[in-house]
Amino acid sequence: MVDHDLHVASMHRMLKKAGAERVSEEAAEELRKALESIGFIIAKDALDFAKHAGRKTVKSNDVQIAVKRLLKQ
């Protein structure tokens, strides 16, 4: 069994909150995969920003900058 950082149940809830009446298991799994991939990219960029600033600690501002950078692409 593979350990995931995000749970499929959370993806079901998110899709329902977005207005979906019904959500297939496959749709929830695809959303989980996509968000984990995007989250990993953001985390790596945020870590790079922290290291560039000479810090070991990733701060919220690092994450915010990484998100903005990703959304501009």
Average pLDDT of the chain is 95
- pLDDT value of residue 2: 67
- 25 lies in a domain? yes
- pLDDT value of residue 1: 56
> How many structural domains does the chain have?
1
DSSP string computed for 20-59: -S---HHHHHHHHHHHHHHHHHHHHHHHHHHHHTT-SS--
- 2 lies in a domain? no
- 29 lies in a domain? yes
Instruction: Name residues whose C-beta falls within 8 Å of residue 36's C-beta, 6 or more positions apart in sequence.
Output: 4, 5, 6
Query: Which residue range forms the structural domain that includes residue 65?
Result: 8-72
Res 23 pLDDT > 90: yes
Average pLDDT of the residues in 43-66: 98
- pLDDT value of residue 53: 97
Average pLDDT of the residues in 11-16: 97
Instruction: Name residues whose C-beta falls within 8 Å of residue 27's C-beta, 6 or more positions apart in sequence.
Output: 11, 15
Res 24 pLDDT > 70: yes
- 3 lies in a domain? no
Domain harbouring 19, CATH code:
1.10.20.10
